[in-house]
């Protein structure tokens, strides 16, 4: 199995957490988790590219 980039793992975890929040009808939390996940994944991508 190939190693996946860290930014992918970060974003995937954020999506998993957001889906759990949606299951609990916590829409604001889900939105925030996705925003933070996107931000953190972008930072990891840029750091890996440096």
Which of 50, 45, 46, 32 minimizes the C-alpha distance to 6? Answer: 45
pLDDT for the residue numbered 19: 99
d(CA 7, CA 27): 24
Q: Give the single-character DSSP code of 4.
A: P
pLDDT for the residue numbered 1: 54
- Predicted model pTM: 0.87
4-50 tens-digit pLDDT? 999 999 999 999 999 999 999 999 999 999 999 999 999 999 999 87
Tokens of 43: 């930072």
In total, the chain counts a number of residues equal to 50
């Amino acid at each position: 199995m190939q190693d996946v980039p860290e930014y992918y793992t970060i974003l995937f975890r954020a999506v998993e957490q957001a889906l759990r929040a949606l299951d609990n009808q916590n829409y604001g939390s889900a939105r925030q988790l996705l925003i933070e996940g996107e931000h953190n994944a972008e930072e990891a991508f840029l750091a890996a590219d440096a």
